[in-house]
Structure 1
Amino acid sequence: MAYLIPLGAIVTVVGLVLLMVCILRVAKARKAGLPEEELRAVLEATVPMNLGALFLSALGLMMVVVGIMLG
């Protein structure tokens, strides 16, 4: 079960990178001064990616904890 720790760390890092991408996407849209409707569309398109990134981060951390407990 020792393979769960590095695999979980990789999954967590991927999730964190995706979270950064979401943050940068929204910051860029806000800085562009888009009208409210277009800004709302960007935010709505970013929400599923944000939730997926949070899920990956949580899953990766769970994998690390399980790997430590079983290792």
Structure 2
Amino acid sequence: MTVFDWLIWGGAALTLAGVAGLAWCIVTVARARKAGLADAAMRARMRSVLAVNMGALAVSMIGLLLVITGIALV
């Protein structure tokens, strides 16, 4: 296995971790909506989920960039 293979598989793992984070955000917001929280509580929940959502998007993007770089350099 070359370093480029490690780059591709590592990027794929990061991308899957980011997608898992996005799925967690979707499930958390769906549960909060079903719970019928008050407006202030819903805003607080959404604020905490937003930070995780942005982090998951960033991790997923970095993973995809690693995959593309590994494929381009092979």
TM over 0.5: yes
SS of structure 2 residue aligned to 1:61: helix
CA RMSD, 1 decimal: 0.5
Within 5 A, what are the aligned runs for 1:1-71? 1-71=4-74
The AA in structure 1 aligned to 2:17 is V
Number of matched pairs: 71
Q: What TM-score results when the alignment is normalised by the length of structure 1?
A: 0.97
For 1:15-53, what per-residue CA distance to the aligned partner results, in whole angstroms no more than 9, with x for missing partners?
000000001001100000000110000000111100000
In structure 1, how many angstroms separate the alpha carbons of the residues matched to 2:28 and 2:47? Answer: 12
In structure 1, how many angstroms separate the alpha carbons of the residues matched to 2:48 and 2:9? Answer: 31
Unmatched tracts of structure 2, length 5 or more: none
In structure 2, how many angstroms separate the alpha carbons of the residues matched to 1:38 and 1:70? Answer: 48
SS of structure 2 residue aligned to 1:2: helix
Unmatched tracts of structure 1, length 5 or more: none
Runs of 4+ in 1 over 6 A off after TM superposition: none
In structure 2, how many angstroms separate the alpha carbons of the residues matched to 1:29 and 1:56? Answer: 24
- Percent of aligned positions with the same letter in both sequences? 42
